[in-house]
A and B are shown apart, each in its own frame.
Chain A
Amino acid sequence: DADVTQTPRNRITKTGKRIMLECSQTKGHDRMYWYRQDPGLGLQLIYYSFDVKDINKGEISDGYSVSRQAQAKFSLSLESAIPNQTALYFCATSGAGGPSDTQYFGPGTRLTVL
């Protein structure tokens, strides 16, 4: 079984709809992250969480919100989706060792907003 899972893997929605992307991990890590990937831009950090009670904005948090329901679960919500949020979204986890810690990525969710 994969260590980091994301659901759904693909989603098509309409402008203005609310949508939630879910991430679960079995690595026992405290730290979790949400990134979006756009062609030619690499990955950009949306939100990150050090633990259940510690959530922080990343580089591009506008239009997004998150919820850390448990150590193993971190959800990303788009309250009112817009077409320029069409992208590939990745969840990642890491331990608490610091800047040299490896981040482990889920398989991604491809979101299309029409």
Chain B
Amino acid sequence: AQSVTQPDIHITVSEGASLELRCNYSYGATPYLFWYVQSPGQGLQLLLKYFSGDTLVQGIKGFEAEFKRSQSSFNLRKPSVHWSDAAEYFCAVGAKAGGTSYGKLTFGQGTILTVHP
């Protein structure tokens, strides 16, 4: 069964600083990887996803993530954080369930990002 670990429960950065949120996954085959963001009082919004091709993936809001198979990681990065990026971030891995093509999503525990002015 697949699993996802986000080692950092809470990260605080200053506005304008760079950001890296860590995500490690466990899955026996090529994973389908996602980063979602949840702003306060909102549902989850997709930032980016990886399922094949270039291992550096660009997403919305200036975010990018790099898939590293050797490290089983899919870390999220942003070069300069804005105050509006304060939110909770979830990494997820999708995999086929049984004989179907359904993508069962397994989520990490989430990382809360606080941005100081």
The residues of A with any CB-CB pair to B shorter than 8 Å are: 4, 31, 40-45, 48, 50, 90, 92, 94, 96-108
Is B28 in contact with chain A by the CB < 8 A criterion?
no
Q: Which residues of A contact B34 (CB under 8 A)?
A: 102
Q: Does B25 contact A (CB under 8 A)?
A: no
Q: In the complex the two chains form, is A105's CB within 8 Å of B44's CB?
A: yes
- Chain B min CB distance to A64 (Å): 17
With a cutoff of 8 Å between Cβ atoms, the chain B residues found around residue A98 in the complex are 96, 101-103
Contact A102 B46 (CB under 8 A): yes
**Contact present for B102 and A50 (CB under 8 Å):** yes
Q: A99 touches which one: B36, B41, B51, B107 (CB < 8 A)? A: B51
Task: List 6 A-B pairs, minimum CB-CB distance, nearest first.
Answer: A99-B103, A105-B43, A42-B107, A100-B51, A98-B101, A105-B44
Across the two chains, which residue of chain B brings its CB closest to A106? B43
Q: List B contacts of A44 (CB < 8 A).
A: 107
- CB–CB B90/A42 < 8 A: yes
Question: Size range of the interface on B?
Answer: 20 to 34
A-B contact count (CB 8 A): 64
- A43, B100: Cα distance in complex, Å: 22
User: Once the chains bind, are A43 and B43 in contact (CB under 8 Å)?
Assistant: no
A108 to B45, CA, bound (A): 12
Contact with A along B75-117 (1 / 0, CB 8 A): 0000000000000001000111000111111011110000000
- Beta-carbon contact of B109 and A40 below 8 Å: yes
Q: Are B109 and A41 in contact (CB under 8 A)?
A: yes
Given contacts A43-B107, A99-B51, A99-B102, contact A107 B96 (CB under 8 A): no
Residues of B36-77 contacting chain A, CB below 8 A: 36, 41-46, 49, 51
The minimal Cβ–Cβ distance linking B34 to chain A, given in whole angstroms, is: 8
Bound Cα distance from A97 to B96, whole angstroms: 11
